[in-house]
Amino acid sequence: MKPTTKILLSRGVEEVIGQEELEKGLKSKRKLRVKHGIDPTASELHLGHAVSLRKLRQFQDAGHKAVFLIGDFTAMIGDPSEKESLRKQLTLAQVKKNMKTYLQQAGKIIDLKKAEVVYNSRWLKKLQLADILELLSKFSQSQLTARRDFAKRLKAGLEVAGHEQVYPVMQAYDSVMVKADLELGAYDQRLNMLAGRQLMEKMRMKPQAVLTTPLIEGTDGSKKMSKTSGNYIALEEGPKEMFGKIMSIPDKLMSRYFELLTDIDPIPLKIIKKEPRNAKLFLAKTIVGYLHDQKTATKAMIDFVRTFSEKKSPSDIPVVKIKKRQLPLIDLLVGIGVESKSEARRLIEQRGVRIDGQVKDDPRGRIKIKNNSELRIGKRKFFKLNT
Amino acid sequence: MKPTTKILLSRGVEEVIGQEELEKGLKSKRKLRVKHGIDPTASELHLGHAVSLRKLRQFQDAGHKAVFLIGDFTAMIGDPSEKESLRKQLTLAQVKKNMKTYLQQAGKIIDLKKAEVVYNSRWLKKLQLADILELLSKFSQSQLTARRDFAKRLKAGLEVAGHEQVYPVMQAYDSVMVKADLELGAYDQRLNMLAGRQLMEKMRMKPQAVLTTPLIEGTDGSKKMSKTSGNYIALEEGPKEMFGKIMSIPDKLMSRYFELLTDIDPIPLKIIKKEPRNAKLFLAKTIVGYLHDQKTATKAMIDFVRTFSEKKSPSDIPVVKIKKRQLPLIDLLVGIGVESKSEARRLIEQRGVRIDGQVKDDPRGRIKIKNNSELRIGKRKFFKLNT
């Protein structure tokens, strides 16, 4: 089904700049050139990247041209946006290695056959000093330097290096080179994308519109999903692991994940509230479904439910059937409904978890399940474990 | 006579950075590479430039290698140092035109045959984005941007453009390329030259020492000599005009001009105080002497004295003999001892100048000299003009 303009410009959208022009473009018969860039600074893409990639796919489905830009040159510099310290510069070899699987991973979401895939080294590596000074002259110095992320670093006594401010100018030049009608990206790319809009205007081109998507929180439920924070779910994750990780997100994140990572509409807030576990199973199945396939997702769900199936006992102590004889304590807790892995870890570390009366305080511990064991969490929650 | 180390490092010197290393170098038998660069942003060099050029010549006379750098690339960008607004970028054609006479003018002071003349376009135009980012990364952003001159502009609501901060990095790279042991330049070049020192250190070369020379005031006696302020004496000025302009500087500037623009030592402060006019004639003759030649300078002096010879009359009204029948009013005033052209202009504009009782209030006016005319300046100063 072709997404409507309303869906394109509002669902999973933080902000649209240049909306009026963009709407005109969408109304016309013209195929818009929709740019989205990713720097191959790591080897894995994750659900955080999926939010923008899915938006790009929506534009493809609406009949527009996806210009998927691999920042093989910019990756070597490193985008300083929202970074807390100077990024280590990558070598060409590292970047090439990272690039290898990038397309394959992005191809799980966008239609690569219909996309125009470009590498920014093609034009950036050829730029000479005179060209660069010309590009820099299109910006005021304060635009390049008076940035919240830089100010934060300087306040913390950290340095901002002279080359970091050139990053937005390079990304802006990419937009000039691919003649983008629209650039979309996560909210932390706002400044870089606006630089593109400005440069195009100064170079007397039609300035690109800018669409930002929200930054999604990771499995811990608080920090932005990122490799550095270790709270990410990789697009390449195996189905079982991916299913389990999605099941481990805090309930409060569910409606956000539904909005940003699925097409399900209207978002089933009622179900989320009434039957959070079922809603989460549905969420996990949907995401695993498009990142792997429906059959695999169904199998992952059945496996998960089998491992952590839950019944109420007559005395109102829930009886939990555990298929596995041995498993990590954290997985057990998340499986029976603790909000997240980090919450489970907290409970264990605070000595709030007992099995048959014995405190289990090693968050990395595995446990053997004996039939009819009693699991107690905190003061009031009891479970009977059955094998 | 070979200048001593003491003269090299103190006379007409504002500051030496890296003095210890530099003194070691001067003591060794090694020929030091002494860099001095000028951007051909205008067609004329003036006495302001002469201060550094004379210092460079001193190092030549002491047996060192002058590396005279023509900033044909950097001239197109424009050094923002101490500039009150964004410099207009020059075209290549303009720069080439300006360059034409530069060498010839500098050759009036330095020994071009013994100097190494280099043009920075040779290496700067070839730099590519990756090289430039590498160079920029050797500096912190605040080094490039937290500058007094930029702050001043921003405070005045003016813009600093993104490319302006790259200027010191380019000049620094010049130092790397010419392997300078010392860079010398006017005090407003301090930041640029220190950037060279830093870049060399970061690139594991022996960092250049830096020697700054004072900025000399122009003929108005207050502002730094510059083309923009119109208070300059060009190196290419004809001998007569040059002589007259030097005679028009305020007395208080004389000892500074002696120190910075002549080799005369000790500076004849006593004569300056007792016989300012004679001292100024001596100053003018000395400078015209090395920028033209001794014979021409002597002739210029004789002409000047003849035009404005001064005698006291019995009634204590000085009688001034004017050889010319017609001359600009301003020149007449300066010739008889008004401190400077700007002072003369002020007097005329304030209606303080009368000839035979008639107010002369056109600062650009010429006057015809009649025999026995009475010139009155202000309330008390009277002169008899004789032809």
Q: What pLDDT shows up at residue B380?
A: 67
Q: For residue A141, give the nearest of B77, B133, B161 by CB distance.
A: B161
For tokens 């500098």, what's the residue? B106
Which position has the higher pLDDT, B379 or B119? Answer: B119
Chain A residues lying within 8 Å of B123, measured CB to CB:
none
Q: Which chain B residues are Cβ-neighbours of A161 within 8 angstroms?
A: 136-137, 139-141
Mean pLDDT over each residue of chain A, to the nearest integer:
90
Inter-chain contact B128–A130, Cβ cutoff 8 Å?
no
Residue B312: pLDDT over 90: no
- CA count, 13 A, side-chain hemisphere, A259: 18
Place B310 in a pLDDT band, splitting at 50, 70 and 90: low
- Which residue, among B210, B181, B214, has the nearest Cα to B18 in the 3D structure? B210
Chain B nearest-CA residue for A139: B162
Tell me the residues of chain B between 107 and 146 that have a Cβ less than 8 Å away from chain A: 124-130, 132-134, 136-145
Residue A155: list chain B partners with CB under 8 A: none
8 Å CB contact of A129 and B127:
yes
Comparing alpha-carbon positions, the chain A residue that sits nearest to B165 is A141
For the ranges A135-149, A281-295, B125-139, B282-296, the lowest mean pLDDT is seen at A135-149
Which of B85-89, B126-130, B323-327 shows the lowest per-residue confidence on average (mean pLDDT)?
A: B85-89
What integer pLDDT is reported at residue A299 of this predicted model?
A: 94
On chain A, the residues whose CB falls within 8 A of the CB of B134 are 163
A358 touches chain B (CB under 8 A): no
Residue of B nearest to A126 (CA): B128
Query: Picking from B103-112, B141-150, B229-238, which range would have the lowest pLDDT averaged per residue?
Result: B141-150
What pLDDT score does B311 carry?
57
pLDDT range class, residue B48, cuts 50, 70, 90: very high
pLDDT at B116: 97
- Alpha-carbon gap, residue B240 to B237, rounded angstroms: 8
If pLDDT is split at 50, 70 and 90, which confidence band does A87 have? Answer: low
* Contact: A125, B126; criterion CB under 8 Å: no
- Could you tell me the pTM of the whole model? 0.78
In this prediction, residue B305 has a pLDDT band, given cuts at 50, 70 and 90, of: confident
Calpha distance A34→A213 (Å, rounded): 14
User: What is d(CA B168, CA A159) in angstroms, rounded to the nearest whole number?
Assistant: 19
pLDDT band at B376 (very low <50, low <70, confident <90, very high): confident
Question: Residue B137: which of A127, A140, A163 has the nearest Cβ?
Answer: A163
Chain B contact probe: residue of A77, A92, A141, A142 with most B CBs at under 10 A: A141
Alpha carbon distances (Å) from B237 to B233, B234, B308: 7, 5, 21
**Residue B271 pLDDT > 60, yes or no?**
yes
Nearest CA in chain B to A164: B137
Is there a contact between B141 and A134 if contact means CB atoms under 8 Å apart? no
Judging contacts by C-beta atoms under 8 Å, the chain A residues touching residue B170 are: 129
Closest residue in B to A134 (Cα) is B163
A381 sits in which H/E element: strand A381-386
Tell me the one-letter amino acid at A145: T
Q: Do A164 and B141 touch (CB under 8 A)?
A: yes
For residue range A44-65, list pLDDT tens digits in order: 899 999 999 999 999 999 999 9
pLDDT, position B256: 93
Nearest to B140 among A136, A159, A166 (CB): A159
Residue A346: both structure tokens together:
């907290």
Q: Quick one: pLDDT band at residue A41, thresholds 50, 70, 90?
A: confident
Is the CB of residue B105 less than 8 Å from the CB of residue B44? yes
| Residue A37, beta-bridge partner list | A69
CA distance, residue B197 to nearest chain A CA (Å): 16
C-alpha B91/C-alpha B186 separation (Å) is 25
CA distances from B119 to A366, B75, B93, B185 (A): 71, 11, 15, 17
pLDDT value at B293 more than 80: yes
Provide long-range contacts, Cβ within 8 A and 24+ apart, for A339-347: A339/A221, A339/A250, A339/A251, A340/A219, A340/A220, A340/A221, A340/A248, A340/A249, A340/A250, A341/A219, A341/A220, A341/A248, A342/A219, A342/A220, A342/A221, A343/A250, A347/A377, A347/A378
| Rounded mean pLDDT, B306-321 | 69
- Between chains, do B132 and A132 touch, taking CB under 8 Å as contact? yes
Residue B270, number of CB atoms within 10 A of its CB:
10
pLDDT for position A320: 84
Angle A141-A142-A144 from CA coordinates, rounded to 5°: 70
**B128 contact residues in A (CB cutoff 8 A):** 125-129
Q: Which of residues 181-200 of B touch A (CB under 8 A)?
A: none
Percentage of the residues of chain B whose pLDDT score is greater than 70: 95
